[in-house]
């Protein structure tokens, strides 16, 4: 393991110190809990507060997405671990203006438990909280058990929709509806080429042979669904897309948002080669690409590999996806 760190047990605290110092015009730490990061300029009377969160190691998610048109705050967990209820509750209180708060997070047991506890505590203080758990990972459970699926790179697209809806002054029920629709319409498949190393242990998150890849492996190293020899990029992209199409059939004339997400150490050259093939396949099927995202959005430290997400959009989702956003690690013009 080679990393530019100091004390392995202090990586999250030192990262947050550097992040807040770098982007103080966007974010601040709450004095009562340094793991609670909130926006300095998006909270306003009557606006629904939108919070996402999860473990560290997925940057720019989650804390890089605080800003106009996106998140109002993020509670920060240890590497690949849910934040505990306390920082979640502190962020909730900081972003609530009476219109209620939406929690968004990937569907993992620790996140479900801790965010649910925080929601209960917030309710005791008179704050209405609603939750949308993101379940875009096609590989993690069969179609008949979608509620068990994990949230991976598709998190970003759901965050984008929910943040835009809140910024456009949707009420809480409407923000929940839009985010739920975005989640339902977003499907992701990924491929891993190499593991990441956890700073506290120095050990790889999983093991792959030098000439192997794994389809469907999770962003924390959860087992995938198929392991084999590395194939050319076009074949890998075709495989990922075929699994998405089987889960969410698309027809000629449909519109999609495409996200090709790098997992931490995959070059932009490779990501654009993957996108090139995705664009060819969609064009051959007569499916319109409404908007494209290529880069690192939900990473896994320095894991090698990428994922492809498709969100099928109607007019509302397209409008929300197109809404401007201004965050430390993500900026989008209209």
Task: At 198, give phi and psi (nearest 5°).
Answer: -75, 125
Q: How far apart are CA 101 and CA 98, in angstroms?
A: 9
Residue 239, token pair as written in the block = 């495989």
With CA atoms as reference, report the closest residue to 74 among 120, 20, 123, 22. Answer: 20
> For the stretch 61-96, what's the b/e string if a residue is b when 16 or more beta carbons lie within 10 angstroms of its beta carbon?
bbbbbbbbbbbbbbbbbbbbbbbbbbbbbbbbbbbb
Q: How far apart are CA 97 and CA 91, in angstroms?
A: 12
Would you list the DSSP string of 56-88?
A: ESSTTTTGGGBSBTSBSEEEEEEETSPPPHHHH
Q: How far apart are CA 221 and CA 48, in angstroms?
A: 34
Catalytic positions, written as ranges: 58, 220
Residue 149, token pair as written in the block = 């699926």
Collapsing DSSP to helix, strand or coil, 138 comes out as: helix
Asked whether 163 and 62 are in contact (CB, 8 A), the reply is: no
Residue 12, token pair as written in the block = 């999250």
């Amino acid at each position: 393991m080679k990393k530019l760190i100091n004390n392995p047990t202090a990586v999250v605290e030192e990262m947050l110190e550097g992040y807040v110092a770098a982007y103080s015009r966007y974010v601040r730490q709450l004095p009562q809990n340094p793991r609670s990061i909130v926006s300095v300029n998006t909270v306003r009377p009557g606006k629904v507060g939108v919070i996402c969160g999860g473990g560290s190691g997925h940057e720019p998610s989650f804390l890089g997405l605080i800003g106009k048109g996106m998140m109002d705050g993020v509670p920060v967990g240890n590497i690949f671990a849910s934040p505990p209820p306390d920082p979640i509750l502190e962020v909730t209180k900081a972003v609530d203006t009476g219109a209620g708060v939406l929690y968004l997070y990937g569907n993992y047991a620790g996140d479900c438990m801790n965010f649910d506890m925080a929601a209960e505590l917030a309710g005791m203080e008179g704050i209405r909280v609603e939750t949308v758990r993101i379940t875009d990972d096609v590989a993690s459970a069969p179609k008949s058990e979608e509620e068990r699926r994990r949230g991976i790179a598709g998190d970003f697209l759901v965050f984008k929709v929910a943040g835009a809806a809140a910024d456009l002054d949707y009420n809480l029920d409407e923000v929940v509806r839009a985010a739920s629709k975005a989640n339902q319409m977003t499907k992701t498949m990924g491929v891993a080429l190499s593991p990441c190393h956890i700073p506290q242990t120095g050990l790889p998150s999983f093991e792959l042979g030098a000439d192997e890849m794994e389809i469907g492996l999770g962003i924390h190293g959860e087992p995938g669904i198929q392991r084999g020899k590395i194939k050319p990029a076009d074949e890998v992209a075709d495989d990922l897309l075929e699994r998405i199409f089987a889960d969410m059939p698309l027809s000629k004339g449909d519109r999609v948002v495409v996200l090709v997400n790098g997992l931490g150490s995959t070059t932009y050259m490779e990501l654009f080669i993957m996108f090139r093939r995705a664009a060819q396949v969609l064009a051959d099927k007569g499916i319109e690409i409404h908007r494209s995202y290529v880069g690192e959005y939900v990473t896994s430290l320095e894991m090698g590999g990428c994922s492809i997400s498709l969100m099928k959009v109607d007019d509302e989702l397209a409008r929300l996806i197109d809404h401007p956003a201004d965050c430390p690690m993500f900026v989008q013009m209209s």
